[in-house]
Structure 1
Amino acid sequence: MMVEISPSILSADFARLADDVAIIADVADWVHIDVMDNHFVPNLTIGLPVVEALLKHSALPLDCHLMIEDPDRWAPRYAEVGAGGVTIHAEAAKAPIRTLREIRSAGARAGLAINPATPVEPYEDLLGEIDMLLLMTVEPGFGGQRFLDVVLPKVRRARELIKGRDLSVRLQVDGGVGAETIERCAEAGADVFVAGNAVYGADDPAEAVRALRADAERAAARAGR
């Protein structure tokens, strides 16, 4: 199983985002961008102008996670400006198939996110429309939350659904992912890991990414993935 690590800049220093992205450029796979609108989630972070600015300074593709009220309107635009991946929430999208196809048409990896209490099975038929399924392992809206172990069985079910349809869909987890939790996520079937505080709260963010990758790869090997 190929592991991908996507550090979340929600935990970085907003006054020096380009510098904090550069710190992990040689060791990470993606830069995770948490876009929040204070409507779908109770927080307001960054939006399209900041993403456009970061694209000029990041050597890594941007993994844009849209926690917003109207992703059908805004998601394609993130792909059009150059984001490498754009993920929308199943709970917010009114026309998910159309929006996911527009993201792909614009050249980005299309992702579908679901909240901890949202079951994965109703979205099985959408797996062929996406490149990545994101399972939130905390309630979306804030960084630094405690990992919800209750989501791990859903990670296992999602992996089985993907395998059952013979798809190459990546399975991402986001929320509370760190040294104490990443191995359980990898064993359950996740292969893309968003880490915020575990990376940017460390003395050496680059070394933290290396350690997380090693932990995930070791756990995946134990699980025979």
Structure 2
Amino acid sequence: MIIVAPSFLASDFLHLADEVDMVNNSAAEWLHLDVMDGRFVPNISFGIPVVEFIRKATSKVCDVHLMIEEPEKFVAAFHKAGADVISVHIEACRNLHRNIQQIKDLGIKAGVAVNPHTPIASLEDIIADVDLVNLMSVNPGFGGQKFIAHTLHKIAQLKQLIAERNPSCLIEIDGGVTLDNAPQIVAAGANVLVAGSSVFNAKNPQQAIDHLKTACEKII
């Protein structure tokens, strides 16, 4: 199964309740929530209160992506706010194994996020411990960027590593996912598609989600 996770970074914050309601009534399984601190990435998005209010408005999976420094200081608070999945960046963690275990000890899924310049080989010593790898297919910090084509090669590398060390681990692709490139991304081995602009900027967002799922399910 291919999971579609609309990224709320691209949503209309003035009508956030309506945007959550749209996803609730769509075929999307997850809500992707990007938390940015202005330090790890050159942008600030939203924090714990927004996650908490979104949690109250949905029963779907809240996939929280922490693009922040020192994430270990905040994972418990984001769990309390309602996160079902928390991903931390390998580039932001001095003690990644400890950070991943901290998340898992909360009883939720733990993910590791990887920037475009970070090689797949850097995951070899952590892959067995994570539930998800979020491969950034754009440089983190802003929505609406173009998909970095080299990501397809990285997906294939990651798929092989996962097959050897942790077959249940999911591959999430975050950035520049569109109806045109989604089938290629899935064919390379991805399971979770984070889609922001291609969903929320569409004339019919629910239909855009349906089309993404239909196009990808033909591949698997």
Residue identity in the other structure for 1:82: G
CA contact (8 A) 1:35 1:47 kept: yes
User: TM-score, normalising length from structure 1?
Assistant: 0.94
The structure-2 alpha-carbon separation of the partners of 1:92 and 1:100, relative to structure 1 and needing over 3 Å to count, comes to same
What SS is found at the alignment partner of 1:91? helix
What SS is found at the alignment partner of 1:62? strand
1:205 corresponding residue in structure 2 = 205
CA contact (8 A) 2:128 2:166 kept: no
What SS is found at the alignment partner of 2:49? helix
1:19 corresponding residue in structure 2 = 18
Matches within 5 A, 1:108-187: 108-187=108-187
Does 2:32 correspond to 1:44? no
CA contact (8 A) 1:127 1:162 kept: yes
* 1:105-156, Cα deviation, whole Å (9 max, x unpaired): 2122110000001001121121121100010000000000001001110110
* 1:61-112, Cα deviation, whole Å (9 max, x unpaired): 2100010111121123212332111000000012211121121121221100
- How many angstroms apart in 2 are the aligned matches of 1:47 and 1:189? 31
Residue identity in the other structure for 1:91: E
What SS is found at the alignment partner of 1:88? strand
CA contact (8 A) 1:76 1:99 kept: no
Residue identity in the other structure for 2:43: N
What SS is found at the alignment partner of 1:97? helix
Residue identity in the other structure for 1:9: F
Does 2:86 correspond to 1:89? no
- How many angstroms apart in 2 are the aligned matches of 1:140 and 1:180? 21
- How many angstroms apart in 2 are the aligned matches of 1:163 and 1:46? 35
* 1:136-187, Cα deviation, whole Å (9 max, x unpaired): 0000000000010011101100001001124200000000001111111101
| Identical columns (%) | 39
Does 2:107 correspond to 1:107? yes
- How many angstroms apart in 1 are the aligned matches of 2:7 and 2:81? 20
1:67 corresponding residue in structure 2 = 67
The structure-2 alpha-carbon separation of the partners of 1:18 and 1:87, relative to structure 1 and needing over 3 Å to count, comes to same
- How many angstroms apart in 2 are the aligned matches of 1:30 and 1:161? 25
CA contact (8 A) 1:72 1:94 kept: no
* 1:22-55, Cα deviation, whole Å (9 max, x unpaired): 1021311110001001110000100011111111
Residue identity in the other structure for 2:181: T
Q: How many corresponding residue pairs?
A: 219
- Runs of 4 or more above 6 Å deviation: none
CA contact (8 A) 1:33 1:65 kept: yes
CA contact (8 A) 2:173 2:192 kept: yes
Residue identity in the other structure for 2:129: E
User: TM-score, normalising length from structure 2?
Assistant: 0.96
Name the stretch that deviates more: 49-58 or 155-164: 49-58
Please, which runs of 5 or more residues in structure 2 have no aligned partner?
none
What SS is found at the alignment partner of 1:53? helix
CA RMSD of aligned residues (A): 1.1
